[in-house]
Structure 1
Amino acid sequence: MKEAFRVRDEMLKVGFDPTITTYKALVLGCCTHHEVEQAKELLKEMKRASDMSDSGLVRYAYSDNSYNFVMYKEGGLEEASDLLPEMLELESGLVPHTLIYDTLIDECCTKGIGTKGSLDEIDKAVAYKDEMISRGIEPTIVTYTLLIVALFEVGRSWGAEDMIKEMQEKGLKLDVYTYNTLMSGYAKCKYIDAHIGIYDEMVEKRIQPNLLAYNTMMLGHCRCSEAQKLFDKMKTSGIKPDHLSYNLLIAGYSYRGGYVKEAFRVRDEMLKNGIDPTFTTYDALILGLRINHEVEQAEELLKEMVSKGICTPDDKKYLILTDMVHRER
Structure 2
Amino acid sequence: MLSRIAKFQTFEDTLEAFERMEKNIFVGRKFGTDEFNVLLTAFCTQRQMKEARSVFNRMHPRFSPNTKTMNILLLGFKESGCFSDGLRLLTEMEGVNCLPTIETITTLIHGAGVARDIAKARELFEEFPMRNLRPDTGAYNALLSSLVRCRDMESATGLMDEMEEKGIEHDNITYHTMFFGLMKSKNLDSVSELFDKMTKENFVPKTRTVVMLMKFFCANYQPDLGLNLWGYLLERGRCQHGHALDLLATSLCSHGKVQEAFECSKQMLERGRHVSEAVFRMLERFLLQAGDTEKLRTLDVMIKRLQNILPPSRGHATGILYPTKMD
Alignment partner of 1:279 is 2:251: no
**How far is 1:232 from its partner?**
4.3
Q: TM-score, normalised by structure 1?
A: 0.60
Alignment partner of 1:134 is 2:98: no
Amino acid at match of 1:82: S
**How far is 1:195 from its partner?**
0.6
CA contact (8 A) 1:243 1:275 kept: no
Q: How does 1:42-191 map to 2 (within 5 A)?
A: 61-62=31-32, 64-65=33-34, 67-74=35-42, 77-90=49-62, 95-112=64-81, 121-191=82-152
CA contact (8 A) 2:75 2:107 kept: yes
Structure 1 residues 81 and 307: CA distance shift in structure 2, 3 A = same
Q: How does 1:188-199 map to 2 (within 5 A)?
A: 188-199=149-160
**How far is 1:233 from its partner?**
4.0
Amino acid at match of 1:85: N
Q: Is the partner of 1:128 in helix, strand or coil?
A: helix
CA distance in 1, matches of 2:74, 2:114: 15
Structure 1 residues 261 and 296: CA distance shift in structure 2, 3 A = closer
Alignment partner of 1:231 is 2:208: no
Encode CA deviations 1:146-194: one digit per residue, 9 max, x unaligned. Answer: 2222221232323322322334432321111111222223223211111
Q: 1:266 aligns with which of 229, 235, 238?
A: 229
Alignment RMSD: 4.5
**How far is 1:73 from its partner?**
1.9
Encode CA deviations 1:56-112: one digit per residue, 9 max, x unaligned. Answer: x9xx743x43x222122235544432233344545xxx7411111221222222222
Q: Is the partner of 2:11 in helix, strand or coil?
A: coil
Alignment partner of 1:201 is 2:165: no
CA contact (8 A) 1:263 1:285 kept: no
Encode CA deviations 1:180-222: one digit per residue, 9 max, x unaligned. Answer: 2222232232111111121112112111212222233333445
Query: Which consecutive residues of structure 1, in runs of 5 or more, have no partner in the other structure?
Result: 1-28, 47-56, 113-120, 313-329
**How far is 1:227 from its partner?**
3.6
Q: What is residue 318 of structure 1 aligned with on the other side?
A: none
Structure 1 residues 310 and 111: CA distance shift in structure 2, 3 A = farther
CA contact (8 A) 2:71 2:104 kept: yes
Q: What is residue 35 of structure 1 aligned with on the other side?
A: 12
Q: What is residue 304 of structure 2 aligned with on the other side?
A: none
CA distance in 2, matches of 1:282, 1:151: 38
CA contact (8 A) 2:210 2:244 kept: no
Of 146-155 and 245-254, the range deviating more from structure 2: 245-254
Q: TM-score, normalised by structure 2?
A: 0.60
**How far is 1:138 from its partner?**
1.7
Structure 1 residues 306 and 69: CA distance shift in structure 2, 3 A = farther
Q: Is the partner of 1:197 in helix, strand or coil?
A: helix
Alignment partner of 1:243 is 2:204: no
CA distance in 1, matches of 2:257, 2:132: 60
Structure 1 residues 78 and 153: CA distance shift in structure 2, 3 A = closer
CA distance in 1, matches of 2:96, 2:13: 23
CA distance in 2, matches of 1:101, 1:214: 29
Q: Is the partner of 2:100 in helix, strand or coil?
A: coil
**How far is 1:123 from its partner?**
1.9
CA contact (8 A) 1:144 1:163 kept: yes
Seq. identity, %: 19
